[in-house]
Structure 1
Amino acid sequence: MKLREKYLADSDGAIIVKSSAWYYANNQKWYYFDRNGNPLSYKIEKIGGKEYYFNYQGEMQTGVFEAEYYDENDNWVNKKMYADVSGAIVTSAGWKLVGGTWYYVKEDGTGASNEIVEINGKRYSFDWDGKMQTGLIWQYEESGNGYYIYADASGAIASQPQWGLVDGNWYYTQADETIITDEFKEINGVFYKFDTDGVMIKGIFYDNEDKYFAQSSGAIVRNGWARDGVDWYYAGKDGKLLTSQWVGDFYFDEDGIMAVGVVETEDGAYVFDDNGRKVAEIGTTAGWQLADGTWYYYDAPGKQHNGWLNSKYYIDNGKMKTEDIVPAMGDTSREAYVGADGIIVQNGWVYERYGESWFYSENGMLVEDGWKTINGKKYYFSSIYMNRLSFREIDGKLYEFDGSGACRGEIAKKNSWYQSPDGSWYWFNED
């Protein structure tokens, strides 16, 4: 293969280099020109007793690089080599430190690259650029799959079971150099769980449908209490957190959280103190019962009342509803509202503070869908909600509403300015 000749010229086209010489270009690369002014490329050249390599662009190489050139027998050569910061090729085997990064030159004079090399009884991994790797290192397989291995700060690959810390995450290596992934592992009598990336799991986690808790050390709690924030759990002998189960006077709900306050279980409703201990059972007698600030009503021991009671209260599974929207009495297609005292609002305005919404009750039912004149003023309701918009198009007509929701009137003209009664000006187009 014959390479095209290259020369270095100034802006006027005059040849600058006319004899063998080094040249440092603006791109911060070194070049070497022979006596004929040709830049060396695809070549190893001995200069001043040292060998240097120049790539296809004529740039002198440093560090680990891929040397491509014709040897003395005109054979094409492609191999990894190493040059120090001056560009001098190093062929003596050993470690080389460049800019805080370790490289290694093998016995054959080539630089270690994209491979694992055994050095003095220990194995080290080098990336494509020849840099020694530490921490987690991905190893590709011919099948297209792969796995992680771990190298400590010295670069030595762990070849026996041991812990490794990378970016704040703990990993555990096995005797075959791989790290444990996606499995439970007993280590020195303690059980741990590692995710699909090999990270030791801490806190609440799931395995299939089972729930577990691992302490900050990663140790999975077994046969005992576990705390996550303000919530308490209890783990069985196998480490699975109990759900919908009793442990003595303590109950753990479907999420495994210890019950406090009033909680309904499959066996009934109970009151638990702040420490989770059962202190009372609800519904053991007929009638009203106050528990933890909430009223309950049972028709008979163990039989919860459902629906309206005494035409005043709405009971849902034994619990009196308060400040809530409920099915209307006598017409379940309509809705009603019960106040903080649990009594139905028969007539008047209702402010729902959670949704910051206004309703209007008439004869025990909330007004819905349409116009309603109240105390001489017109209001518009969408579903059961009073309109809170300043301007709203209804049935093809545009209306203005004041801050209380009362309609100020229809805005008849479009493509014109409009002055509101409060003095504000608005422009309305056809849309």
Structure 2
Amino acid sequence: MKLSVIGTGYLGATHAAAMAELGHEVLGIDVDETKVARLSAGQVPFYEPGLPELLSKHVESGALRFGTSIAEAGEFADLHFVCVGTPQKPGELAADMTYVDAAFTALLEHVRPGAVLVGKSTVPVGTAARLAQQCAAAGGALVWNPEFLREGFAVEDTLRPDRIVIGAEDDDARAVLERAYESILATGTPLVVTDFPTAELVKVAANSFLATKISFINAMAEICEVTGGDVTKLAEAIGHDDRIGKKFLRAGLGFGGGCLPKDIRAFMARAGELGVDQAVAFLKNVDEINQRRRARMVDLAREMCGDSLAGRRVGILGAAFKPDSDDIRDSPALDVAFAIQRSGAAVRVYDPQAMGNAKDSYPTLAYAPSILDACDDADVVLHLTEWAEFRSLQPDDLASVVRAKNMLDGRNVLDPQHWRAEGWHFRALGRP
């Protein structure tokens, strides 16, 4: 099939390359000429394991190309995926629909009669019904197909998803999208066909549930800290209950990134507009618990430095919101680093992939080219993003460069007994 992908950010670039891998001929469209030039050269403008190889393979084969003309997309294809962002509005909880509305408006001026437009962006419930009317007026049809990508696993999640959800009012349009996913569905991937509102709610409901699970175990960590309990053992014990499960029960610094925080806030805002804000009032507590973990990390660092961070040197390991990503949106690590700097400490940050993005957004922080440089002469070291090279750190690796043997593990992946046996003062969130 010939198809277009409108918007070539994280979601769009991944989706375009994956659709080419499935055998389709794909045209990616973006207004950012610099981004289009890089993608056209087979270069991914962000870090995502496996995507550079997939992208360059299909750019070289000719199955995948990129451009800036949305009119060309209308001429090229009859199946169009809209993959633009819905960031949080400045100063508000609600999602900013500017990019989605602009993409659909521009595309609908150029689509051929009978074209199928696929919404993949995470939008407030009710958006699809509005856009479907616009599509019908232009002679096209809309289906809604939410994405469920995990950063660091985006290629796998696109080519081998755990489910495909399609919201549709037009059976013919739905069948066109199913044909695009035919090779995936042939492997037995579950297909859920539903209406527009349900399809829109699936993504925000899933993210709200995951955020709630993370904040639940972090709430238990708060209790463990005052009772002497160990939240890692608590999570292990309750995780053996198959009604609960072990996933997303790791206590620590909490969640960040471009999805969970803004999605649950937008969900609260939309629920308020619909008059059912009490139904998701608990999400306010979920968000608050998540933010408190960051503040607690700063407090622990202060305690380990003699109740004052002024004049102290702090090594920060991590800038990305999660490993295997260079995404720093709502990064707990950088939030903590900046708060510690505001408390008067000299902070040095190291991250394997996110340094460039971090420097652009947090230019006042100091950055180091390696773990040892970040920790040089440090009064305390904070482990904030669980990259493999941080998880494998040994006490002896840092002993010769730090000023004081103080390690604060914000991700609960280092072995406290091992570090303490080597003479380190070791603290972690939710552990005695």
Interval containing the TM-score (normalised by the shorter chain):
under 0.3
Q: Hey, which of these two has a bigger chunk of helix by percent?
A: 2
- The structure that has the greater radius of gyration is 1
Q: Hey, which of these two has a bigger chunk of strand by percent?
A: 1
TM-score, normalisation: structure 2: 0.21
Structure with more contact order per residue of length (Cα contacts < 8 Å, sep ≥ 6): 2
TM-score, normalisation: structure 1: 0.21
